[in-house]
Structure 1
Amino acid sequence: MHSRSYIQDHKLSYQQSLANQLVTAVIILNEKLSIVYVNPAAEALLNKSLYRLFNTESEMIFANTSINRSRLIQLLATGQEFTDCDIVVELNESHRFTAEVTASSVEFERTPHVLLEFKQIDQQKQISLEVFQHQQWLAARDLIKGLAHEIKNPLGGLRGAAQLLSKEVTSEQQEYTSMIIEQADRLTNLVDRLLGPNQLPQMQAQNVHGILEKVCQLVGYSNGQKIHLLRDYDPSLPAVECDQEKLQQAVLNIVNNAIQAIDEKHNITLRTRIASNRTIHGKRIKLAIEISIIDNGPGIPTKIQDTLFYPMVSGRSNGTGLGLSISQTLINQHQGKLSCHSRPGHTEFTILLPLKQQPLNRAPLSQESTL
C-alpha cells in the first residue's frame, strides 16, 4: 500500500509530463497574474523560454486584447471560466498570431491560479477568410458584368440618337448634343474600367526584379513627393511564368495607392522572397514567389479592409476604387493571390505567384533609392 504523499507526487509527475507533451499551448498565472509556468508548446508559440517568461506580467502578452487584468481578477474571484476567439497577440512587429484562448481557474498549493489554453487559428482563419473574400469578389464581378452590359446598351442608343439629332439642329444647339455624346462616352469608359482587363495573360518566363525596377522607373517619372523607395530583393528567385505588362500594372496600381496614402516622412519597401506551402484559393502550393509592397503610413481604415479589392471601394474621398480591383483581377488571371494586412504604421500588400522552378540558395539584397 502506497502512502498518500507518494500517490500525490506520482500524480503530479504524470500531470507535469502530460502538460509538457500537449500540442496545446498552456500558460499558468499566479494570483498576481504573473507567469509561473509555460509548457513547451507555449514556449514555441511565444518564441520565448520559461526562463525568460517567468514572472512576466500577463499584460505584456495580452496588451490591446479583450483579455485584460480585470477579467482575470474576476476569474480568480468567481472561478467562472471563459473562452475568447480571434485574440490577436502581437509580441513585436515581426511576431503576431491569432488564437482562441480559454481561461479557467485552477488551484496549486492551495492558492488560486489562472490556466490559459491557446489554440492558434491563424491558418484556418486565413483560409476561411480568403475563400469567403474570393467568393464575394467573384459575385461582385459577375454582378458588375451584368450591370455593365445593361448600361452600355442604352448608352449606345443614346449616343447614336444624339449624333443623328446634331445633324438636324442649329450650330448653337449642337452644344447640347455634344454634351450628351461626351457624357455617354465618359460613362462607357467608366463601365469598361469597371469590367477590368478581359484579355488572357501572355505567359512567359520573367525576372520579377526587372518588372519591379520598371515600376520604380515609371513611378519616379510621375511622383514629386520624393518618397524613399527601399528594395529588399532575394536574388535567388528563379524566373516565373507571368504576363510582364499585367504584373507590372498590378504592382504599379498598388505602389501608386501607397504613394497617395503617405507623405515624404514615410517610405515604401518592395520585397521579394520564396514562399513555401501556401494556400491559394483553397489549393496547396508547394513553392511560390512572394512580392510584398510595404509602407509605414497611417494604414487602411478597418471598415474597408474586408472589401478593399471590390470595385468602387476607396479610402480616399477622391479615389475611384478601381486600382486595387484591377490588380486583383490581374493577379487572379495568373492563378495567384493578392492579400493585404494593415494597421497604423504598417500596410503590406502581398502577391503570391505559383512557382515550378527550384530557387538557388543565396542571401537577399537590400537597396534604397528615392522616387
Structure 2
Amino acid sequence: MLKLFCTKVVQEGETGLARNEQGQHLATTELLIGNLSIALLLLDESLRVQFANPAAESFFEQSRNQLEGQELRRLFLQSSLETERLRSALEFRQSFSDSEVQVTFADGRHSLAEITVTSLEQQGSPRLLVEFKKIDNLRRISQENQQWAQQQAARDLVRGLAHEIKNPLGGLRGAAQLLEKQLKEPELQEFTRLIIEQADRLRNLVDRLLGPNKPPNFQWHNLHRVLEKIRTLLSLDEIAEVELVRDYDPSIPDLWIDDEKIQQAVLNIARNAVQVLEGKGVIRFITRIERQVTIHGKRYPLCAQIRIIDDGPGIPERLKDTLFYPMVTGKQDGTGLGLSIAQNLIDHHRGKIEVESWPGHTEFTIYLPIDKKEPA
C-alpha cells in the first residue's frame, strides 16, 4: 500500500488534476507522508537524495536541507546495503527488500533496519524510493527471549553433567589417596599424586561451571564505588596503553546488590576487553538511569545501566549467538567461563546483560533494577 501511495506522490506532477483539486491532494499527501513513522528517501539516477520525510530526518539525525543533494553512501560510515545493488535496481527498474541491514553512521551510531527499495519513474527519469524501518528494539526483544531460553537449557545441561562428574571424581581422588598410603616407592607415589592433582583440577573446573556456591549477600551499595574498585584492579594489571575512561551519572541511588558479585561480573567483562585490545585502546565505563526496562518478561520502572565499551576489533560473527554459553571462547587459552559466570551473577540480581558489537566498537550493557526498598 505504501509503495502504491508513494508512486502516486512521485507521479503527481504528470496527472491532469484540476489545480484546486491537485492542491488539496498535495496537501493531504504531504500531511500523510509527514506523519509516517517509516523513514523515506527519494533517490535520483545518481543515488542522491531528492526528498526526505521527517522520519528520515530523525533516522539520520540530519535536517531535510542537509540530506537533500547528498549521495546515499555518504550518509553511512558502513552499511551492508550495497551500492551496486541499488544501481542495478535503477538500471533494470527492479524493486527489492532486505529484512536486516546493518548501518553505522558517521557519528558512531549503529542501527539495524528493514529496507524496502521501490523502482519509480518521474517525468521519464528513473527514481528509487528507499524505506528504512528501524527494527533494533524488536530484534533485541526477540533475540533476548531466544537466547535466554537457550542459555537456561544449556545451564541446566551443564549443571546436570557437572554433578555427574563430581561424584566419581570424589571416589577417584579418595582411592588414589588410599593407594598412596600403601605404596612405599616414591616413584609410584608420584603417579598417585598426579591423579589427585588432576582430580582437584577437574573439580575446580566443575565448581566454576556450577557458578557461585553461596547465596548473594545483598546490601545497599553505591554503584560507583564498586566500579572504582574495578578501575583500580585493572590499573594494577599490566594494561600497557589501555585508557580507562569513566562517565558516571551521580543521580543513581544506592542499589540493593551484592557488591562483590557485581564487581566480579563487571571485572570479567572488562578483563575480556583488555585482552582483546592487546595493550592499546580505550575502555569506557558509563552509568545512566534507564526508564521502563523489560527484563525477562518483567517491566521495571527504573534501572541502573552500566555500559562497558571498548574500541577493539569486535566480537566474531560466529560467537555472537553463543557468547554467554559455558566453554565458548574466541581466545586460544581461554576457558569460556568469564561471561557465563558474569551473566549468572547478574541473573541473581534480577538483571540482564545486552551486547552490541561491530568493528571498532563492542558494548556490554548491564541493567540492574533500582529499588526504593528491599525487594521481597
TM-score (norm 1): 0.90
Q: Which residue is equivalent to 1:287?
A: 302
Say which structure is richer in helix. 2
Q: What amino acid maps onto 2:341 in structure 1?
A: I
Q: Matched residue of 2:299: which SS?
A: strand
Q: Which residue is equivalent to 2:127?
A: 113
Q: Matched residue of 1:80: which SS?
A: coil
Out of 329, 334, 345, which is 1:314 matched to?
A: 329
Out of 123, 146, 152, which is 1:138 matched to?
A: 152
Tell me how far 1:284 sits from its aligned partner: 2.5
The answer as to 2:366 corresponding to 1:351 is yes
Q: Which residue is equivalent to 1:46?
A: 60
Q: Matched residue of 1:200: which SS?
A: coil
Q: Which residue is equivalent to 1:236?
A: 251
Tell me how far 1:286 sits from its aligned partner: 2.1
Q: What amino acid maps onto 1:245 in structure 2?
A: E
The answer as to 2:313 corresponding to 1:298 is yes
Deviations 1:75-121 (A, max 9, x none): 22333211101112221344222111111112223322111112111
Report the Cα distance in structure 1 between the residues aligned to 2:20 and 2:242, rounded to whole angstroms.
70
Q: Which residue is equivalent to 1:251?
A: 266
Q: Which residue is equivalent to 1:190?
A: 205
Q: Matched residue of 1:102: which SS?
A: strand
Deviations 1:38-65 (A, max 9, x none): 1111111111111110111111235643
Tell me how far 1:6 sits from its aligned partner: 4.8
The answer as to 2:73 corresponding to 1:59 is yes
The aligned runs of 1:86-101 (5 Å cut-off) are 86-101=100-115
Q: Which residue is equivalent to 2:190?
A: 175
CA contact (8 A) 2:80 2:102 kept: no
Higher relative CO (Cα under 8 Å, sequence separation at least 6) belongs to: 1
The answer as to 2:8 corresponding to 1:15 is no
The gaps in structure 2 that reach 5 residues or longer are 1-15
The answer as to 2:364 corresponding to 1:327 is no
Q: Matched residue of 1:151: which SS?
A: helix
The answer as to 2:38 corresponding to 1:24 is yes
Aligned CA RMSD, in angstroms, stands at 2.1
Q: Which moved more, 1:247-256 or 1:160-169?
A: 160-169
The gaps in structure 1 that reach 5 residues or longer are 359-371
CA contact (8 A) 1:103 1:115 kept: yes
Q: What amino acid maps onto 1:134 in structure 2?
A: W
Q: Which residue is equivalent to 1:200?
A: 215
Out of 225, 235, 238, which is 1:223 matched to?
A: 238
CA contact (8 A) 2:240 2:280 kept: no
CA contact (8 A) 1:290 1:351 kept: yes
Tell me how far 1:288 sits from its aligned partner: 0.8
TM-score (norm 2): 0.89
Q: How many residues matched?
A: 357
Q: What amino acid maps onto 2:142 in structure 1?
A: S
Out of 126, 131, 148, which is 2:140 matched to?
A: 126
Report the Cα distance in structure 1 between the residues aligned to 2:92 and 2:144, rounded to whole angstroms.
40
Q: Matched residue of 1:177: which SS?
A: helix
